Amino acid sequence: MAFRPPRRKTPSKAWLWLRRITLSTVALLIIALAALLLLVNGERIREPLEQYLTKLTGLETTIAKAEFSPLYPQVIKLTKVSAGSIKAGEIYLEYDLSSLLSDQPLHLYDLYLKDLQVPDENERRQLFTALAPKPLVIDALRLNSIPIAAERIKAKSANLRLNDARIDRSLNISFSSGQAQLSGLTLDRLPVKSLRLEFTAPQGREAKSRTLNISALQAEVLGGMLSAQDGYFSAADNKLAFRHLNASRLILKDGLEFTAPYTLEAEEGSFSDLFYAPALPQPDAAAEPEALIFSDLSGSFSSLRLTEGRLELKLTSGSAAEIALPQYKLNLTEAKFSGTLTQGSAPSSYSVLNLNARLQGRLWQGSLDTAFTLTLPNAAPAAPGTPSDTLTVHELDLKHNVLEFDARQYEALKTLLYRLPLHLESARAQELKVLSFIPTLPLSIESLSLQGSALKFADGRLSGDSAGLINVEFSNLLYSDLLLRDGMALTTLTDEMLTFALPQLTFASSSLSASAALSFNQAPSYLLVSAPDFRLDDLNSSLSPHLFSGVVNFNLDLKAPGPFDLDTFASELSGSVSLKGDSLLISRFGLDLINGGDSLQPLTLTKDEILTALSDADIGLYQLNLKGSAAKGRAALRGSFDTPASHVFVNFALDLDSKALSGQSNFSSLSGDAKTRLTLQGTLTKPGFLIEALERGMHRPGLFIPSKMGKQPTDPAPADPAPAAPAPAVPAAPASSDVPAVPSVPAAA
């Protein structure tokens, strides 16, 4: 069976006609659209748009360039737009066409403004009222490179994005969230290099109490970086509060004064590499402030509050490369610390600083470990009922430090002890070295150890409680060139008594011991000193114009009934003193000159005059035996010694109430041909000496006082002088402490 090929199908005429019509329509639409795109573009609408906006707003409007396409009728872009004094470098707008034809708010998908300048507030309101006849809803409002010039904030450039923004007819704006970036910012005279914010608008009840929720903040300020998270800003009370705050590399050369207009709070945070220099409060408001400098300050805290420049801080841990008081050359390095700091207001608006801290570090080439509490009112004088300055040292431990101080530091320490009451609970210093650069205090100590507890300093006075204790040990102490090889002192101080014990104080080759008590109740006060076989050459130094040689035995035993009263202490004193030595030498103290010379003329000399006259020669003292006693308001010194040329007898007295001096010392040459009487006059603070030549034999060197030669005594002598009465013998010192009155000696006729 033969096969035929299938018959070829041909389209119907209807189908062919429909296809031709469709293709023709599409071609016409393309041609029409092309024509529309050519005829309707930005340049075609720019001039009509300028005219329309000028008429609508009443402000002369110009547009440098307009971009518009019928393909995207909901998008328009304008370049270099001005309306009156208002200018914008660029405007980009995406909007909902349907919202233009409905009663709903005008819906903008995106509104972008660049380089916007609005110098005139009235023109801004006029422009916005004309362009937005109904409320606006803006999905994304973006402002770029906008300068800000307000009363408290200024910025060269600001970028702002607001999400879900709404602007009502009264120009009130609201939003859900946003971001801001500002540069060249000045905030209340504080320069800020840059500031970045991420924020959300408060909702519900928070909208009334909070202005802005801040999810993140980052600022380049004061040479460093400040960042914070999870907080808010309240415009009502200028309050910034954050959950976490971090500060890095800030330079706080004026302390925290820049925060005065604001309140800053943080639940926790950290800081690193800060330079912090707060000004210390001064008792005198006119005094120049002194800075306490923290370098490379780092640490963390669990609570922070800054109110009007006052700081409250709970410091978890902290460290600093250096803490310095430059005015006093005080530097603490490798410092570590923790504690709490509060600075609040006491009664009468009196600002008070309270610091409770533990501090460790390297100080004066040694180590420091201390815990203390400081209360420091930041004003003066104190009003009634306000806290006073107080420093309580709970613990203080110094090891191997080198204390070098000058007059400024010494005066600062005295000022501190007078101004700031100090309560020392426990303190210890081990193996300190001390070096003074004060001319009036030429002190150096090779090794000094101290221990103290329960002590109080107030108004320059030291006091203690039931456990007040001071222990001192030292070796190789030099005061000028006077050497104290070693010593140890034990002191207890209570409200009732001060006791002092010096078991041994060793000079270059000899030593002494002492003990004392100062009673503030009915118990007696006393002083005991014992120096057996003491070598006088141990005392040779530039502190005295004399040089000494020989060995003495010295004993002192004084007491007074309690309680101690400075006004009556001397009159109630009793006790004894003794000084003995077989062979001594004293330079520049030529006592033999008193019993020399040829003149029989009496001389009345002051202390300085007689010491100057005696300095012309040295003196040897042999068989020295002096004994003193005090009782019933009088003190006496009796005894004798020999010089190379004379026998000397001493009988002096002192009225402990009036401080009046009396008594005589008689000089007799070894051969008996020369005799002189020295009468003590005046008071203890201004003594006088009457020297009367009773007999003269062979020629001996005498006192040379040019200003006194030939001077008559105060009472003129009679015309015919009678022979001088012989000087009475000096009686031996009585065994009891009762001292008889010194017998009077008749003056030379």
Q: What is the mean pLDDT of residues 229-255?
A: 88
Dihedral sign, CA of 723, 724, 725, 727?
negative
Residues 391 and 289: their CA atoms lie apart, in Å, by 20
Q: What angle do CA 268, 371, 332 make, to 5 degrees?
A: 85
Residues 691 and 603 sit within 8 Å (Cβ to Cβ): yes
Strand segments, DSSP code E, in 378-460 are 390-399, 402-405, 422-436, 443-458
Q: What angle do CA 581, 584, 585 make, to 5 degrees?
A: 160
Residues 664 and 678 sit within 8 Å (Cβ to Cβ): yes
**What is the three-class DSSP state of 50?**
helix
Residues 243 and 267 sit within 8 Å (Cβ to Cβ): yes
Largest CA distance in the chain: 203
| Secondary structure of 137-179 as H, E, C letters | EEEEEEEEEEEEECCCEEEEEEEEEEEEEEECCCCCEECCEEE
| pLDDT, tens digit, 9 for 90 and up, residues 516-548 | 998 888 888 899 999 999 999 999 999 999 999
Of 141, 153, 69, 138, the C-alpha closest to 106 is: 138
8-state DSSP, 210: -
8-state DSSP, 328: G
Residue 748 confidence class, pLDDT cut points 50, 70, 90: very low
8-state DSSP, 20: H
Residues 694 and 666: their CA atoms lie apart, in Å, by 10
Q: Is the pLDDT of residue 462 over 50?
A: yes
Determine the pLDDT at residue 387: 46
Q: Look up residue 581 and give its amino acid.
A: G
Residues 496 and 522 sit within 8 Å (Cβ to Cβ): no
Number of Cβ atoms within 10 Å of the Cβ of 682? 16
> Which positions ≥6 away from 641 have C-beta within 8 Å?
621, 622, 623, 624, 625, 626, 648, 650
H/E segment holding residue 705: none
Rg, Å, the chain Cα set: 49
Number of Cβ atoms within 10 Å of the Cβ of 411? 12
Q: Which residue has the higher pLDDT, 295 or 741?
A: 295
Residue 550 confidence class, pLDDT cut points 50, 70, 90: very high
H/E segment holding residue 208: helix 206-209
Transcribe 483-549 into DSSP letters.
EEEEEEEEEEE-SSEEEEEEEEEE-SS-EEEEEEEEESSSSPEEEEEEEEEEEGGGG-STTSS--EE
Mean pLDDT for all residues in the chain: 81
Q: What is the mean pLDDT of residues 424-430?
A: 91
Determine the pLDDT at residue 205: 61
Q: Is the pLDDT of residue 609 over 80?
A: yes
So where are the chain's domains? 39-221, 510-572, 581-708
Residue 640 confidence class, pLDDT cut points 50, 70, 90: very high
Q: What six digits make up the tokens of 286?
A: 């006119």
Residues 326 and 547: their CA atoms lie apart, in Å, by 43
Centroid of chain to Cα 157: 41
Determine the pLDDT at residue 63: 84
Q: What angle do CA 437, 441, 445 make, to 5 degrees?
A: 75
| pLDDT, tens digit, 9 for 90 and up, residues 82-99 | 888 888 888 888 888 777
8-state DSSP, 7: P
Residues 593 and 564 sit within 8 Å (Cβ to Cβ): no
Residues 532 and 505: their CA atoms lie apart, in Å, by 12
What angle, rounded to 10 degrees, do the helices at 42-57 and 121-131 form? 110
Determine the pLDDT at residue 313: 85
Centroid of chain to Cα 603: 60
Instruction: Tell me how far apart the terminal alpha carbons of the chain are, to the nearest angstrom.
Output: 196
Give alpha helix (H) positions in 278-430: 407-419
| pLDDT, tens digit, 9 for 90 and up, residues 45-95 | 778 877 877 887 788 888 888 887 766 677 888 888 888 888 888 888 888
3-state helix, strand and coil shares in percent for the chain, rounded to the nearest 5: 15, 55, 30
Number of Cβ atoms within 10 Å of the Cβ of 19? 11
pTM of the full predicted structure?
Answer: 0.70
Q: Is the pLDDT of residue 263 over 90?
A: no
Pairing label, strands 390-399, 422-436: parallel
